[in-house]
Structure formats: structure tokens, C-alpha cells
Structure 1
Amino acid sequence: MFRQLIAAATRSFATSLNRATPMLLALSLLTAGTTASAWQKTEVSMRIGSMNRTATVYLPDVPSARDRWPVVMVLHPGFATGEDMARISRLHLQPGSENFVFVYPDGFRRSWNARECCGRAQARNIDDVGFLTRLADQIGTMVPTQSKMFVAGYSNGALMAYRLACDVPERLAAFSVYAGAPRLSTSTCSPARSVPLLHLHGELDAVAPLEGGESSIASAGTRVSVLNNIQWWSQMNGCARSQPSNFISRAQCTEYSGCRNGSQTLFCIYPGQGHYWPGSEASGFGERRGLGPARSDLNGGQHMIRFFEKYR
């Protein structure tokens, strides 16, 4: 279902990743599209237990240009792939992207085990935390990388990004999510350190409603209040105050500041935006499923990179 939405929004669709290799690590170097610097588009296959796990990686063409590179792990929505997420978000093509390495991993059967909602990864209790941290370590053998990574997530990928921040906060420099909020409580999330967060959300998102409630997609069930979610995270970060922010000119942003270790929490609502990635165009199919409307004048990827730059 979401795969059809992606195709309509982006007007193109990625071919499947090559999963044929059984080796621990298989690389195929290609020339990627140009940004401020050239990239090597690399397909990575890792054997974990009885499964092959895969990812698309954008490595700097001249890795010696800096001592250690910050890694951005970009997590796709449900029913999508890492290659799809690269086409949707275009994080590696944003201003400032030349300062990062980008990793677009594939979830298990196009889903992530975020402890809740949705798909086979959760049903099978797949160790996605273990996969993503091992993947980050493997990238460090290909190019010198920083010890802490950045994480970006969309929808089901947003829930997975929150899980990483809860379970392995020591591995994250900061994270940013769009259109997804998990059920947070001290029983499921008690990170030993605070983690900076930029949470982006559509005002008219019916899949993950701002105030919580039944999702427009039946498999997503009842969703929690995004507003309560942000309050919980800002308190966990030890933030002392909140005030309006102009971080995004076309959004209504609130900044939670005075947080422990400078771990700012930013929450931005895009007026008139649904569950589509900010910058995508709406489709008739998506509107029938309650995913619209969409605003093509936005650029969610650019905002995420700007936020990550603060903690690079």
C-alpha cells in the first residue's frame, strides 16, 4: 500500500537491491548523482544469524577529506525499502550533505521492529537494534567514522529511530523523525543519557494524528498523542523551558531548551500537511487512504540536515 503511495509521490521507483550474495559483506561501487561533492553509491550485505540484511550507502568520493565522518542512518516507512527512502527524502542531496555519510538500510520484509506498529519485523521480534548498530560499525571499516551516528526516520522508521534513542542512546549524536510517535514510558524507555531531537509532523496527519486516536490505516491501530510524546521526551532530556522557534519558516515550531548536555528538543508542525514526506506531491490513491494533503513547497530533508549540523 505505502509502496504505491511512494511511486505516485516521487514519480519513480527504485529497483530491488541485489540480495544474492551470501558473504558477510558484499560491495558494489557505482557512481551516484552529484551533490556538492561526488558520492560512491555502495550496496552492503551483512549476514546476521540466518538472514542477509542489506543497505544502500553513500560514501564520500574522497574519504580522506576529513578525519572522521558522521554517519546518518535513514530509516524508511513501512512497506518501503532503503532505496525508496533515498529517493523520497533525498537527504544525501541536501545543502550540507557533503559533510556526512548516508546509510539507507532495508527493514525486515519492509518493516522495522520498533516494539509497536507494524508489520512482520515486530511480529517476528527481529533484532533491528542489533542490525543497525552492527551496520554502523561495519560502515566504520569502510571509511573513518565518528563513534556516534545521526538517525532520521519516517513513519515506521520514525518509531524505530525513537527505539534506538531509547535503547542505545550512547550510539546517537541526535535524531530527527517525521510522521511517527511511539508509546513512551519509563518501562520501555529509560535512556542513560539525553539525545537531541527534531520531530517534524503534519498538522493534518490522519495516520499518526497529532492528538492521537485511530489511525486512517487500520494496521496502525490507535496512535498516541504526538503532543504528549514531545512533552515526555523534553522532560526526559531535562529541558527547563519552551518557547516559539523560527527554525523552519513555513512551520510552527516549539523549542525546548535548557536541556541536559545541550540536548535541545525541537518540535515543528507543518500547517496543511498530511502523512506524505514534506516536499512530495499528493496522489489520488494516498488521499483515498487518508494520507493527504501534501505540500510540495516543503523540504523535510533540508531541515533534518540543518539540525544535524548543530551536533556534528
Structure 2
Amino acid sequence: MRIATLAAAAVTVVLLVAGIVLLRGDPGTATTGSTSLHEVGHDGGTRSYRVYRPATLSEPAPLVVMLHGGLGTGELAQRGVGWDAVADAEGFVVAYPDGVGRAWNAGGGCCGNPGRTGVDDVGFLTAMVDEIARALPIDRARIYFTGMSNGAMMAYAMACRTALAAAVGAVAGTQLGDCAQPDPVSVMHVHGTDDENIRYDGAPGSGVARIDGPSVPELNGFWRTVDECAAPVSTSSDRVTTLRATCRDGRAVDLVTVAGAGHRWPGADEHGALDATRMIWDFFAAHHR
């Protein structure tokens, strides 16, 4: 797989981070809970993350880990896609970790300095989840990973290399590196047909990181095989087509395709197509380990 170096030019920061932050209208939507900042020692260094706890917490509570995209941060991810508001409504905890140099080592040499130097992001995220579960009443059968772009790749890496996830929600990403013997896990993948950064057809993408991974349908088929799924059923509404497969032991593998959408996290304000955050949470809520 061919993956170019992730650069840090200021103009690129604007372009890629805008794809994460400016999708749901006002990122300052009022929330009722509180955000705390944390550090955890790992692999000879210190890693940082944020935790959002709603005012009313169900016990034991689900944990959603939201992984920022390339050149993003946990703070930008928290501001950008509305997870705190859904956590307020549903009573779960959200973690927003920070990648080293604004990127994640998601496998296959991607991305940026973490990919080049072999940063142990799987170990960091595992340690972070353990630390949160010691501090809060987390239901370990309901731990979920979601992310955008490089963050979506990292979510897949967690599914491939750990047994933590009850489900994964990937937006505008792909799967890179080895995934030889993953545990079965429910998967929802959301992708636009006009994404030029991480292409739907799997061809090398444009932009800063020329990702050359599997096509989205191929990746969807991989997880249907892992999860021992029945033949998928397709439904369409407006520009959104959902390919849904029911699988062994109550799991599911869903592919949500947004016609004409680019490299972005679909929000409730995007032509009324879909609210990816709410859709992914509803998927998570229906699946536990």
C-alpha cells in the first residue's frame, strides 16, 4: 500500500480540520456535563486525553472513544461533531484522545510521524480506557471506537488488534495494516462516494496522505466474513444508501453510502442527508460485547 508522508502545512490544517469541525453548524451547542483533562504515562512518555461526563450518567455507562482525523486534536473533535450533546441525552461517557503530532499510527505506515516511527497508539488507547474505567463506572461490554479519516483507521486498528470494542463507527476512513485474526465486532462504516482523500473505490487518494487501501465495499465484505453475517439488505432514502447485514450472536455490519459527499463527517445540517453522530450512536446502543 502506498502512503505518503503527512505534512503539517498551515493551509492543509485549515482544509483537513475544517472537514472535521465545520459540519454541524454551531459547534458551541450548549451541554450540561463537564469536560476534564487527563494525562497517562505510556511507552516512556506522557499522552493526553479529554473526558466528557454528562450531568446524568447511566450506570454502568457506555464509553465512546472519538478519534480525531489527521492534523486534528481531541479538542477539535469534541467541538466538531456533537458527541457531547448525544452523551447528555443518552447518559454515556466520551473520551477524546490526542494523537502524537496530530496523527495516529493506524498500520501500514500511516500516518505521519506516528506511522513512520511506530508509536504505540493501540497501547496508549488501551491504557486510557483502563484509566477511565478505574475512575468512572464504565460498562466494559459497551466500549465503542469511532473516528474520522485517520481516526477511523485507528478505530479499525483497535478492532483488529484488541478485544476492547463492542462496535466500531468509521467515517471517511479505511483499514490499513494487518488484521489477520480479529475478534468479531459490529461495524458501521459511513463514506461519501465523492471522497477524494480516501476514495470509495480504494484507488490512491489525493491530498496530503495518498491513502491506497481497500475499496469501501471490499472492507465491508471483510467484516461481514469476520462476523459471519447473512446476505446484506439494501435500503435507500434521498442520497443515502444503507447496506445492512445481520450477523452471528446479534452483531451487525452496516455500510452507509452518501452519494456526492466528500471527505467529511456528515452532519444534521448537510442537506438533510443524515446525522452521522446520532446514527452511529444508535448503532452502538444496539450492540454490546
With normalisation by structure 2, the TM-score equals 0.85
**TM-superposition CA deviations, 1:67-100 (whole Å, max 9, x none):** 3111000001011101111122111213774321
Q: Which of 128, 131, 139 is residue 138 of structure 1 equivalent to?
A: 131
Change (3 A) 1:221 1:310: closer
2:241 alignment partner in structure 1 = 252
Deviation at 1:8, TM superposition (A): 7.8
Is 1:198 aligned to 2:188, yes or no?
yes
2:103 alignment partner in structure 1 = 111
**TM-superposition CA deviations, 1:151-179 (whole Å, max 9, x none):** 111100111111111111x2111110001
Change (3 A) 1:9 1:167: closer
Structure-2 separation of matches of 1:34 and 1:280: 16
Q: Which of 269, 273, 280 is residue 257 of structure 2 equivalent to?
A: 269
Per the alignment, in what secondary structure is the counterpart of residue 153 of structure 2?
helix
Change (3 A) 1:2 1:276: farther
Structure-2 separation of matches of 1:139 and 1:33: 25
Q: Which amino acid aligns with 2:181?
A: S
Q: Which of 233, 248, 268 is residue 223 of structure 2 equivalent to?
A: 233
Q: Which amino acid aligns with 1:54?
A: S
2:122 alignment partner in structure 1 = 129
Deviation at 1:137, TM superposition (A): 0.9
Deviation at 1:45, TM superposition (A): 1.1
Regions of 4+ moved over 6 Å: none
Change (3 A) 1:143 1:120: same
Q: Which amino acid aligns with 1:199?
A: H
Structure-2 separation of matches of 1:71 and 1:167: 19
2:148 alignment partner in structure 1 = 154
Q: Is the 8 A contact 2:241 2:256 kept in 1?
A: yes
Structure-2 separation of matches of 1:279 and 1:60: 21
Deviation at 1:115, TM superposition (A): 0.7
2:180 alignment partner in structure 1 = 189
Change (3 A) 1:11 1:74: closer
Structure-1 separation of matches of 2:118 and 2:83: 29
Change (3 A) 1:55 1:295: farther
1:311 alignment partner in structure 2 = 287
2:46 alignment partner in structure 1 = 52
Structure 2: 5+ residue runs without aligned partners?
1-10
**TM-superposition CA deviations, 1:221-275 (whole Å, max 9, x none):** 42321111111111111112111146x7651010112x12111000010111000
Q: Is the 8 A contact 1:250 1:270 kept in 2?
A: yes
Q: Which amino acid aligns with 2:280?
A: M
Structure-1 separation of matches of 2:254 and 2:266: 17
Q: Is the 8 A contact 1:58 1:103 kept in 2?
A: yes
Q: Is the 8 A contact 1:60 1:101 kept in 2?
A: yes
Q: Is the 8 A contact 2:250 2:287 kept in 1?
A: no
1:177 alignment partner in structure 2 = 170
Give the structure, 1 or 2, with the largest relative contact order (CA under 8 Å, sep 6 or more): 2
2:212 alignment partner in structure 1 = 222
Please report the RMSD computed on the Cα atoms of aligned residues, expressed in angstroms.
2.5
Per the alignment, in what secondary structure is the counterpart of residue 223 of structure 1?
coil
Change (3 A) 1:142 1:220: same
Change (3 A) 1:260 1:132: same
1:39 alignment partner in structure 2 = 33
Q: Is the 8 A contact 1:54 1:106 kept in 2?
A: yes
Sequence identity (%) = 30
Is 1:301 aligned to 2:289, yes or no?
no
Structure 1: 5+ residue runs without aligned partners?
13-31, 282-293
With normalisation by structure 1, the TM-score equals 0.79
Structure-2 separation of matches of 1:9 and 1:162: 18
Structure-2 separation of matches of 1:99 and 1:245: 30
Structure-2 separation of matches of 1:249 and 1:97: 27
Change (3 A) 1:214 1:276: same
Deviation at 1:218, TM superposition (A): 4.6
